[in-house]
Structure 1
């Protein structure tokens, strides 16, 4: 993992259906991205894999403190990472994510994925992820990448991930996360509404909320704006805290 001068490392955690290659659109300091089990070229994991398991795997393959940027599923895993391994997480950026999955919605989505296949779910997912304006340009590289990954992902692995999200619930533990956290909310995000992100930021002890004119895939549709927010976060997170824990 590429490290910065102070020994820390910037880590990007991707959304469901994508892989570590999605970080290529972000102009950031040296950044490492991992691929979750069942995604990209990785084989489907054992049944019952949880988001906490994904977080534990990351720690097992890295050293030193981490500034973790998580988008959607990646943000959920980042929360588990901060809770289970607080000594390893220096700061968080949580983009378009939630502290609690909806079990009924995720189970229904998993069942539909197994019935229709990954390609059969493609249009529904893209409509949740991007604005209509972006979808009118399907050949845009970021959209083409997302469409290709979603269409070709193993349907069983995708269904496994939806079910894992359905069991995700750290809402009542958010007060334990005391590292500087920036919550990025997309004003046009139909998957994670603004009120969810506002509540998430309010429950975290050291947090700030950044609003963007973006959909759920903020980092793919508006990568320059997203990267600028991450760079700003890193500066803010490095500032000394007051005795009460607040940043200037």
Structure 2
């Protein structure tokens, strides 16, 4: 296992695969690098891929201290510094997209192209999930709650043909305190005032049928970030990047190719 040290000494596990221009892949809340297992090879013809286990997940340390999306972004910078990578493209989905917003806004010289998937600006300007969705995820029956999450991530047709295991439902090895810290970090995210300062070429991706992180957040991001492009994946739910990889991954690669020519 390979580690980088965060500014506070926390060990952050990372995984670097492939060759070519580096692309940082940032997973969703309470998930580790396995979030990307199904699709990371899609990017390897042109890019190396760098993933990490957020603090509290996977093989990284799990301190019982407050977390934030700003802190997660600083952990990414620590990994880039450790590897001697001066500049990388970044693709963040869900909470990873929130982390990527801070990464690009606070460290513009370190981020090339930026892709924000199924994410939101956070704060009072974002569109929150409905109470029905909240109740479905808060059911007392764990199996029912997990089934509800599955159906928010993927379409019923896809689930019928892909029974799992699914790597987008949370890291099962996380201690309870880490889950709480991740939830708080994601909930308290608010990058609205930072978004106009993002200078990276930006693509906003979202599934049209995403109820977990409502699709209405995508145009909010695309209009708030200067010159951002918006691409919606028809019928895509929260895990559009996996179920509709035949549409999403080429869109990302095309955008990265165009951005590299600027």
| Shorter-chain TM-score tier | 0.7 to 0.9
Following superposition, the deviation at residue 49 of structure 1 comes to 1.2
Once the two structures are superposed, residues 195-235 of structure 1 have per-residue CA deviations (whole angstroms, 9 ceiling, x without a partner) of 21011101110210011021111112222322111101111
Q: Compute the TM-score of the two structures, normalised by the length of structure 1.
A: 0.81
Task: State the match for 1:133 in structure 2.
Answer: 157
State yes or no: 1:179 paired with 2:180. Answer: no
The one of 81, 89, 92 equivalent to 1:67 is 89
| Structure 1 stretches of 4+ moved >4 Å | 1-5, 101-105, 115-121, 149-152
State TM-score, norm by structure 2: 0.77
Q: Distance in 1 between matches of 2:210 and 2:225?
A: 21
Partner of 2:210: 189
Q: Is the 8 A contact 2:73 2:102 kept in 1?
A: yes
Please report how far the alpha carbon of residue 33 of structure 1 lies from its aligned counterpart in structure 2 after TM superposition: 1.1
Label 1:118 to 1:65 Cα distance change in 2 as closer, same or farther (>3 A).
farther
Per the TM alignment, residue 118 of structure 1 is displaced from its structure 2 partner at its CA by 7.6
Which residue of 2 is the match for residue 230 of structure 1? 252
Which 5+ residue runs of structure 2 have no aligned equivalent?
1-15
2:113 is matched with which residue?
A: 91
Q: Is the 8 Å Cα contact of residues 36 and 42 (structure 1) preserved in structure 2?
A: yes
Deviation at 1:117, TM superposition (A): 10
2:221 equivalent among 177, 200, 208: 200
Does structure 1 residue 210 correspond to structure 2 residue 231?
yes
Give the C-alpha shift of residue 17 in structure 1.
2.9
Is the contact made by 1:119 and 1:152 (CA closer than 8 Å) also made in structure 2?
no
3-state DSSP of counterpart to 2:43? coil
Give 3-state SS (helix, strand or coil) of 2:149's partner: helix
Q: Which structure features the higher share of helix residues? A: 1
CA contact (8 A) 2:57 2:173 kept: no
Distance in 2, Cα, partners of 1:90 & 1:2: 19
What is the SS of the residue equivalent to 2:114? strand
Give SS of 2:152's match: helix
Contact 1:2–1:9 (CA<8 Å) still a contact in 2? Answer: no
Structure 1: which 5+ residue stretches go unaligned? 241-248
Pairwise CA RMSD of aligned residues? 2.8
In proportion to residue count, which structure has more strand? 2
Which of 22, 28, 32 is matched with 1:9 structurally?
A: 22
